[in-house]
A and B are shown apart, each in its own frame.
Chain A
Amino acid sequence: MRSLWKSTPLRVKAPLIVAVLTVCVAVIISQVVMSRLTESQEKSLQRLTNAYLDGVATSVLPPVIRQDVWETFDALSRSRKLYQGLNVQDVIVSLADGGILAASDPISFPVAAPLPETVSARFANGRDLVIDDDRALAWVRRILVEGGEEIGSVYARLDLGPLMRERRQVLWALIGVNGLLTLIFAAIGYFSVHRLLRPVSTLHDHMERLKSGDPSRFTPADIASQDTEFASLFRQFNAAVDAIEEREVLAQRLADEEKLALLGKLASVMAHEVNNPLGGMMNALSTLRKHGGDAQVREQSIGLIERGLRGIRHVVRAALVSYRGVKGVHNDDVLTARDLDDLKFLIQHETLRRKLKLSWRNHIPETVAIDGSAVRQAVLNILLNACEASTIGGSIVFEAALRHDHLEIGISDSGPGLPAEIRRMYENAGQDNLQPVGSSGLGVWTAARLIGRLGGKFTIGERNGGGTRILLSVPLKEEKAYLHDVA
């Protein structure tokens, strides 16, 4: 019901409210009139009964004093003829002891019988006028006093049928007249307010078109046909449409610029990812030149160059997959212990340059069911950052192991600690709105995005003896996939 009301348009609701209020006013007025009529009738009845009781009391007082049954009865009979307009049904005169002296209907209220409880109980609350609306009756009482002593009472039962009929007639007249007037006024109110709110409807239609991307402005004729408020509103709408269109143009421009910025960022990342193994490869080439004659050195250096090139290929292919949707490249390949060990060589140029002591503890099995390329790329970025963060001659600790169904890799450095924005980036890994922080944060951004995509998370802690320890935990793929891959 509430949702129906909410969904009802204002151009319907407002006139409806006006119509309902009109009905409410009519009902309230009717009730006030009925209440006043009832009050007036009761006052009139009170006055009439007082006059009647005054007359009866005056005429029956002497016979009541003498306890003269006939004279009392005769007085009651005569008074009934005099007050026919009051519709007196029964009159009872009782003595102070509660016995009936005489009644207009002696069969129902015999002489000397006690006053019926059904009569006396009506006056238990001390009131002398009791109205029984259900039976359209009123009971009145007048206590007869002589010389300060109560000598009896007069009770009369009045038929309120005519009064009730009059009340009903007034009620029906009110319902009829008020109902008709209410309908007329409610209809007038409904259509007037509906007409007044028609510009709201027009404005609503324009807003809907604006929302659907097909804005249309109010024409000068539209504006001229409205009164001041709605003309102003229409002009404001046109101004708002202008502003929205300007903003869209601006947004388009910004989007284009953003695209260019992203392109630059991509190029920067690509260059970075390609550059990372290049150092190791150059080193391997240098080793080949110097010690190419040694078969073992040659084999090791060629293997290193091959893995470096494979890493570059992965980066290129990953970029192609990410930005151009190239098919056939999948990220569900496994991570080998050797993939991780290769990283030692990929950062060698940095460790040598900064004279860092590298402690390498790789405890993972031969193959691990995880996106090896992504993990390798992420860990390489973290390691390079760790190298860069460490002081000259400092130390780097690499630890890798499987813990339950997670691959855990810890990288510790001897640097001064992570800047707050870099720490936030690690902690918010996996969030879509992750943005690189400056050019130096590209590696971290890349690592956070990769690990986040794999459902992994980073835990940043302090290394014993100073420095930072970054623990990344990445869930393994399902067992079946793992076994399949192993097979």
Chain B
Amino acid sequence: MSEGDGQPGAMTRRRFLAGTAGLGIPAILSPSAWGGEDRAVFTFGLTPVFLDSDVQLLKSLKRYLQERMRRPVVLVKKRTYQEITSMLLSGQLDAAWICGYPFVRYRSRLSLVSLPVYNGKPLYQSYLIVNERHDARSVADLRGDIHAFSDPDSNSGFLVTRALLARMGERPETFFSRFFYTYGHRNVIRAVASGLARSGSVDGYVWDVMRDIDPALTARTRVIRKSRWYGFPPIACRRELSQASVIADLRAALFSMNEDPLGREILASLRLDGFAPGRTALFDGIARLVDTVRDQV
């Protein structure tokens, strides 16, 4: 889903209004809402790491960011991580909530804006799940399965399992009878629950949240392995924008989210505690996974 793919820096207020008028953007987006300043539109990218298909949540997030950053905000959502990462790197997005894997891969060009705090820590795990009928107890038992990955640029939905197999001297194409990408952690759970795939690699945070939201779905899956802790998918921006006021505004908005009723509502929906500054060192674990995979020739 995309609410606007234009160049954020070049987008004027008039262009924004013209571009969003047909989308039913509420009156709160009018310049008067943020003190009459004609401020540039802020474009924010979201990857499927985020709980997708929750339109209400997206509206709330957009509204919150607009109010706090006092500027128009466009939320850009794409099907794959690669698309969002490319847009971020090419300057089509001001910032994006991406996965740790592309963050590590493009660490030299990206800057960490904030890290979500989940269960008190800016960390999460990758889960290996199987269908309820699958009697697997370990990774070795998954040999010959049809396996569902989330995204080839996802840490928890691909890289962790890929590195695990690399350490076993295997590759997905040799270890599994077949594998496919669902481009969404929720889809991985659906694929495994339905039996389309016998096993899958999924974001532990998403699986936990889904267990609360849709227990019937997760009940048809079983976690057989939890990875070590990795840095939670970060909010990042291009390195050259890291000191820009718009990023400072974004950072402030995110840090103070649990101080605002709407922000708390958003955090509750996301099952997050809040957002923290974070450290890039938290992604060293992912970097090691990348190295492991790279070393397998």
Residues of A bordering B, CB below 8 Å: 68-70, 73-74, 102, 105-107, 110-112
Residue in B177, B183, B195 whose CB lies within 8 Å of A107: B195
Could you tell me if B187 and A70 are in contact, using CB atoms closer than 8 angstroms?
yes
Q: What residues on B are CB-neighbors of A110 within 8 Å?
A: 146, 195
A105 cross-chain contacts in B, Cβ below 8 A: 195
Known: A70-B182, A70-B183, A74-B187. Contact between A111 and B194, CB under 8 A? Answer: no
Contact A106 B194 (CB under 8 A): yes
Residues from chain A with a CB closer than 8 A to the CB of B148 are 70
Contact status of A111 and B197, CB under 8 A, knowing A68-B180, A69-B180: yes
Can you sample 20 A-B contacts with CB below 8 Å?
A68-B180, A69-B180, A70-B181, A70-B182, A70-B183, A70-B191, A70-B196, A73-B191, A73-B196, A74-B187, A102-B196, A106-B196, A106-B197, A107-B194, A110-B146, A111-B178, A111-B196, A112-B146, A112-B177, A112-B178
A69-B196, A70-B180 are known; give 14 further A-B pairs, CB within 8 A: A68-B180, A69-B146, A69-B178, A69-B197, A70-B148, A70-B187, A70-B191, A105-B195, A106-B194, A106-B196, A107-B195, A110-B146, A110-B195, A112-B146
Report which residue of A68, A70, A74, A105 has the largest number of chain B beta carbons within 10 angstroms of its beta carbon.
A70
Residue of A nearest to B177 (CB): A112
- Distance A364 CA – B178 CA, assembled complex (angstroms): 128
The closest CB in chain A to the CB of B146 belongs to A111
Residue of A nearest to B192 (CB): A106
> Please, which residues of chain A bring their CB within 8 A of the CB of B196?
69-70, 73, 102, 106, 111
Judged by DSSP, the binding face of A is: loop
In B137-187, the 8 Å CB interface with A consists of: 146, 148, 177-178, 180-183, 187
For chain B, the bracket of interface size reads 10 to 19
CA distance A70 to B191 in the complex (A): 7
Contacts of B195 in A (CB 8 A): 105-107, 110
* List of A residues within 8 angstroms of B177 by Cβ: 112
Q: With A and B bound together, what is the CA distance between A107 and B191 in angstroms?
A: 11
The 9 A-B pairs with the shortest beta carbon distances in the complex, nearest first, are A107-B195, A106-B196, A69-B180, A106-B195, A70-B182, A73-B196, A111-B146, A112-B178, A70-B180
* Chain B contacts to A: CB under 8 angstroms: 133, 146, 148, 177-178, 180-183, 187, 191, 194-197
CB-defined contacts of B181 to chain A, threshold 8 Å: 70
Complexed CA–CA distance, A3 and B235 (Å) = 102
Q: Which residue of B lies closest to A69 (CB)?
A: B180
For B187, list chain A residues within 8 Å (CB). 70, 74
Looking at the assembled complex, report how far the CB atom of B220 sits from the nearest CB atom of chain A, in whole angstroms.
11
Most buried by A among B146, B148, B187, B196: B196
Distance in angstroms between the alpha carbons of A111 and B197 in the assembled complex = 8
The distance from the CB of B154 to the nearest CB of chain A, in whole angstroms, is 14
Residues of chain B contacted by A74 (CB below 8 angstroms): 187
Shortest beta-carbon distance, B86 to chain A, in Å? 19
Q: How far is the CB of B189 from chain A (nearest CB, A)?
A: 12
B290 CB to closest chain A CB (Å) equals 25
Q: Report how far A69 CA is from B194 CA in the complex, Å.
A: 13
Q: Which residue of A lies closest to B149 (CB)?
A: A70
In the docked arrangement, what's the CA distance between A102 and B196, Å? 7
Residues on the A chain within 8 Å of B146, using CB? 69, 110-112
A78 CB → nearest B CB, Å: 12
Complex CA distance for A331 and B230, rounded to whole angstroms = 146
Nearest chain B CB to A114 CB, angstrom units:
14
Chain A residues in 8 Å Cβ range of B197: 69, 106, 111
Closest to A109 in B: B195
Contacting residues, chain A, for B191 (C-beta < 8 A): 70, 73
Q: A64 to B203, alpha carbons, bound, how many Å?
A: 27
Which residues on the A side are within 8 Å of B183 (C-beta)?
Answer: 70
Which residues on B sit within 8 Å (CB–CB) of A112? Answer: 146, 177-178
Least CB distance from B93 to A in Å reads 25
Chain B residue at smallest Cβ distance from A101 = B180
B137 to chain A: closest CB distance in Å? 21
Which chain A residue shows the least CB distance to B79? A71
Cα(A110)–Cα(B146), bound, Å: 9
Contact partners of B180 in chain A: CB under 8 A: 68-70
- B47 vs chain A, min Cβ distance (A): 17
Closest residue of chain A to B188 (Cβ to Cβ) is A70
Q: How far is the CA of A49 from the CA of B183 in the complex (A)?
A: 30
For the complex formed, measure the closest distance between the CB of B144 and the CB atoms of chain A, giving whole angstroms: 11
Interfacial chain A residues near B178, Cβ < 8 Å: 69, 111-112
User: Complex: how many Å from CA A358 to CA B194?
Assistant: 133
A69 partner residues in chain B, CB cutoff 8 A? 146, 178, 180, 196-197
CA distance A198 to B182 in the complex (A): 87
Q: What separation, in Å, do the CA atoms of A50 and B24 have in the docked complex?
A: 36
Nearest-neighbour CB distance to chain B for A62, whole angstroms, equals 12
Contacts of A73 in B (CB 8 A): 191, 194, 196
Task: List, in ascending order, chain B residues with CB within 8 A of A111's CB.
Answer: 146, 178, 196-197
**Complexed CA–CA distance, A107 and B132 (Å):** 12
Nearest B residue (CB) for A113: B146
**B191 to chain A: closest residue by CB:** A70
Q: How far is the CB of A50 from chain B (nearest CB, A)?
A: 27
The complex places the Cα of A407 from the Cα of B196 at a distance, in Å, of 116
Contacts of A68 in B (CB 8 A): 180
Question: What separation, in Å, do the CA atoms of A111 and B133 have in the docked complex?
Answer: 16
- The CA of A69 and the CA of B191, in the complex, are separated in Å by 10
* Bound: A73/B173 CA distance, A: 21
Residues of A contacting B194 in the complex (Cβ-Cβ under 8 angstroms): 73, 106-107
CA distance A69 to B177 in the complex (A): 13
A355 CB to nearest chain B CB (Å): 137
Q: How far is the CA of A73 from the CA of B197 in the complex (A)?
A: 11
How far is A107 from B187 in the complex, measured between Cα atoms in Å? Answer: 17
Give, as a whole number of angstroms, the nearest-CB distance from B195 to chain A. 4
Alpha-carbon separation in the docked complex, A70 to B181 (Å)? 7
Distance, CA A176 to CA B67, complexed state (A): 71
The CA of A378 and the CA of B194, in the complex, are separated in Å by 120
* A217 → chain B closest CB, angstroms: 95
Find the A residue at minimum CB distance from B150.
Answer: A70
Chain B residues with Cβ below 8 Å from A102 are 196
**Chain B residues with CB below 8 A from A107, complex form:** 133, 194-195
A111 to B180, CA, bound (A): 11
| Residues of chain A within 8 A of B182, CB atoms compared | 70
> With a CB–CB cut-off of 8 A, which chain B residues contact A70?
148, 180-183, 187, 191, 196
Within the complex, what minimum Cβ distance (angstroms) separates B193 from chain A? Answer: 10
Closest A residue to B184 by beta carbon equals A70
In the bound assembly, the distance between CA atoms of A112 and B187 in angstroms comes to 19
Q: How many angstroms between the C-alpha atoms of A105 and B181 in the bound complex?
A: 19
- For residue B172, give the distance in angstroms from its CB to the closest CB of chain A: 14
